Structure 1
Amino acid sequence: MRLLAKWHIWLAWAFGIPVLMWTVTGLIMVSRPIEEVRGNHLRIEQAEHALVLPESEIASAETNLKEMRVVMQNGRAVALLTGLDGAASRVDMTTGEAIPAITAADASQIVSERIKGGDKVRSVTLFEANEVPIDFRRPKPVWQVALEDGAHIYVGRDTGEIEAVRTRWWRIFDFAWGLHIMDLETREDTSHPILIIFTALGVIGSLAGVILMFLKRKKRRSNPA
């Protein structure tokens, strides 16, 4: 018991300061919303204007296009378009013809070509923008291709691109992160009253522990007997 008590004291000295440091820095990080930390509150909101390219049918004044990205899909140049309303679509860069939304078979083929083990599909499910799973959390329609190893591959229905890869470990990490920031609903709010209160209590507890260690050592020195 004496040996255990001695080890306990040495471990307390070794980890007391780091624990105090972690709790103090944690309180600093959760005290302000991440949007404010990033300076988003300083940005002056600008009116959005449609993307217009001279002599282009794809990006004309009538398309209400917000942005355009060109990628290669199946050996051809494809323009991925995002409208001012957030809607996504694809067109062939050569012909300008609209490319239809991908099917379940298309999603499976994309995953098999771009993901290791992507040919071992357990299920393919379509999710609309307003009902996406918690491990995707983006308001866009996607095909969820669930693999036998537990991975979920999300393929944009209107973009034909892999939007996210969620492994089993990613979902475990995501759940642990939600517990860590005490936000299991959105798992994104890193600054809310409950988290701040408990972090502050952690700082107080750690600080009290460090002070007690110093006081106890000082008392032992003054009373060696």
Structure 2
Amino acid sequence: MARMARRVARVHKTVGLVAGFLLLSWTASGLFFSLYPIETIRGDPWRPDIQHGNLSEMLVPVSAQDVLEQTEGSIAHIELKAFLDDPVWMVEVDGARKMIDASSGDVRSPISQDDVNALIARFGEKPDGLGSLSVSYLIHENPLREYAGPLPVWVIEYEPGKQRIYIDATSGDVRAVRTTRWRIFDVLWRFHILDVTGDDRFDSWWLKLAAFLGLTMVFSGLVLGVDRIRKGRLFS
């Protein structure tokens, strides 16, 4: 029994070196997660509330039926909305989205640099911490990891810290706000779930191995505790 206890103690100490480091990192990352509301991490305080025109006061020369007749393919969804001061039709056809000007019938997407400048002008009062406007550019493919929304997308970048607002180039809607705090959260979250692929998977073998090591440390500790109780020297 004494020999088994020594072996269990050796396993407990060896596994504890690895599992203890993981537990420390999980606790530290969990502490960061608890420090800020998730709304702050997502950038909601910096998300602009863009005011478009009043749709009910706009003339709509191009009807939904006109759009249906001039559009090739299978339309899954069509919706009238206001974009800046113009009425537009948002159409989803054959899995793709596009914006059609409800005044002229012309395709308006992706929105232009002038449209983006007009949207920025309607951002309103800029909250503290966003920085100064640096640059805006359009991405058609291969976006940064921090953005997983639809493409193409306009990126509005602020300095310092490369705080970014992502605007859907098809609809003009704000899709995401990414700040330094979000990026720290993302790195810690990947480490928290041992995501080595960047796919946000909760069933990776790394996480399963870490959980197994943690259980091994706990059970070996219980065995050692029972052995000490049996010998009457639990606290010695």
The answer for the alignment partner of 2:116 in structure 1 is: 107
Alignment of 1:138 with 2:149, yes or no, is yes
**Alignment pair present for 1:82 and 2:92:** yes
TM-score normalised per structure 1: 0.61
Match of 2:46 in 1: none
Aligned length: 171
Is 1:164 aligned to 2:173, yes or no?
no
Work out the percentage of aligned pairs sharing the same amino acid: 22
Contact residue 178 and residue 187 of structure 1 kept, 8 A: no
Distance 2:224 2:211 in 1: 20
Q: How far apart are 1:135 and its partner, in Å?
A: 0.6
Counterpart amino acid of 1:56?
Q
Task: Specify the SS of the correspondent of 2:67.
Answer: coil
| Displacement of 1:154 | 0.8
Per the TM alignment, residue 143 of structure 1 is displaced from its structure 2 partner at its CA by 1.4
Which structure 2 residues correspond to residues 55-134 of structure 1 after superposition, within 5 A? 56-59=65-68, 62-85=72-95, 87-93=96-102, 96-114=105-123, 116-117=126-127, 120-128=132-140, 130-134=141-145
Contact kept? 1:120, 1:148, Cα under 8 Å: yes
1:153 Cα deviation (Å)? 0.7
Deviation at 1:96, TM superposition (A): 3.8
Q: 2:32 aligns to what?
A: none
1:205 corresponds to which of 203, 217, 228: 217
The alpha-carbon distance between structure 1 residues 75 and 184, as it changes in their structure 2 partners (threshold 3 A), is farther
Q: Match of 1:175?
A: 187
Q: CA deviation at 1:147?
A: 1.0
1:56 is displaced (CA, Å) by: 1.7
Distance 1:107 1:224 in 2: 69
| Unpaired stretches in structure 1, ≥5 consecutive residues | 1-18, 23-53
Structure 2: unaligned runs, 5 residues or longer = 1-22, 27-62
CA contact (8 A) 1:108 1:121 kept: no
**Aligned-residue CA RMSD (Å):** 3.3
| Matched residue, 2:48 | none
Rounded to whole Å, the distance in 1 between the matches of 2:103 and 2:97 is 19
Report deviation, 1:210: 4.7
